[in-house]
Amino acid sequence: MYRILTFDGGGIRGLVTLAILQRLETQVPNLLKNVDLLAGTSTGGIIALGLAAGKSVAELTSLYQNNGKEIFDRTWVNDLRDVGGLAGADFKQKSLEALLKGLFNGTRLKDLKKRVLVPSFNLDDGDPDPTKRTWNPKFFHNFPGTDSDGDETLVDVALNGSAAPTYFPTHGTYIDGGVVANNPSMAALAQSQDSRNPGPTPKLGEIFLLSIGTGGNLSFINGKNLDWGLAQWAKPLVNLLLDASMGIADYQCHHILKGNYRRIAPVFPHDTNIKLDEWERSHELIDFGNASPLADTWTGDDVVKWLSSVGW
């Protein structure tokens, strides 16, 4: 049996993920202990790395609650400097970096006892051959092999994976993994099939995957045959692409793993829209996570019963 637990991206809405996770752990005490692979994107990557480093769900929840304002602190000085976000990122990474250093110290991926996977995107692979130089998705992990990122610090991996375009500056040449896999479930499933992993490669029938979202906003674009240009598409395009990548991964895992896959992805009421930087709504996010059904988005099945039935 091979158990995978994944967490979506979503900024401060990671509090929804943590609230759901806390409830699951209360009812399934070995939920985290028995996990073979933790995967997370952006805020989900910070959660995955934190859990792999031995931090409790309660610790991570307090971290988000107590530091959201510092992470997403936008002053009038910043607005003036970057022309209201038009000529620069909304937030700086200094507060987040300091917070992560306090959380992880100098821990490296190779120091973790659990396998982890954190998506990111490299804007420049630095190939010395200018005819091959390009950008590429990057999946940071601590699996064995020549492409292992074991020497990377958790701080750098977390920052590489959470540098959301327009929200934060790039971290080196890396940006938020949400641009390629805001739901990292499919990436985690693929990584589990790497033949270089210690021991026999788990067969699909032996893999059980639980995916947890951050709370979704109901979104749509009203109209047909829209003749839009860059100005009209710029605002909705980022959220559209993030939602699309989450939906694709969910669709793929559901049909590949069938009954071995479950996803908890509650959606906010139609009159509620919570952005990924709205730290002042932290309590609202926790309340929402605590009130959301622990049910699979596809079948409506009770996920706690599923976890118990499969021997998680």
Q: Which two tokens stand for residue 273?
A: 């829209």
Q: Residue 129: is its pLDDT beyond 90?
A: yes
Q: Is 308 an annotated catalytic residue?
A: no
State the pLDDT at residue 79. Answer: 44
Write out pLDDT tens, residues 291-300.
999 999 999 9
Q: Which is catalytic among the residues 8, 42, 250, 296?
A: 42
CB atoms within 10 A of CB 29: 10
Q: Residue 161: is its pLDDT beyond 70?
A: yes
pTM: 0.90
Q: Which CATH class for the 2-74+88-220+231-310 domain? A: alpha beta
Q: Which is catalytic among the residues 149, 176, 250, 296?
A: 176
CA-CA distance, 26 to 152, in Å (whole number)? 32
State the pLDDT at residue 80. Answer: 39
Top mean pLDDT of 1-5, 80-84, 243-247 is at 1-5
Write out pLDDT tens, residues 186-228.
999 999 998 777 778 999 999 999 999 998 888 888 888 888 8
Domain ranges in the chain?
A: 2-74+88-220+231-310
Report the Cα 129 to chain-centroid distance in Å.
33
Q: Is 282 an annotated catalytic residue?
A: no
**What is the arithmetic mean of pLDDT over 64-81?**
67
- Give the C-alpha distances (Å, rounded to integers) separating 281 from 31, 55, 74, 105: 28, 24, 16, 29
DSSP per-residue codes, 272-301: ----TT-GGGHHHHHHHHHHS--B-TTT--
**41 and 119 in contact (C-beta within 8 Å)?**
yes
State the pLDDT at residue 87. Answer: 44
First-to-final CA distance of the chain: 9
Q: Residue 54: is its pLDDT beyond 70?
A: yes
CA-CA distance, 102 to 105, in Å (whole number)? 6
State the pLDDT at residue 272. Answer: 87
What mean pLDDT is reported for the chain? Answer: 89
Helix (H) or strand (E) holding 242: helix 230-257
Q: Which residues have a Cβ under 8 Å from the Cβ of 98 and sit 6 or more positions away? A: none
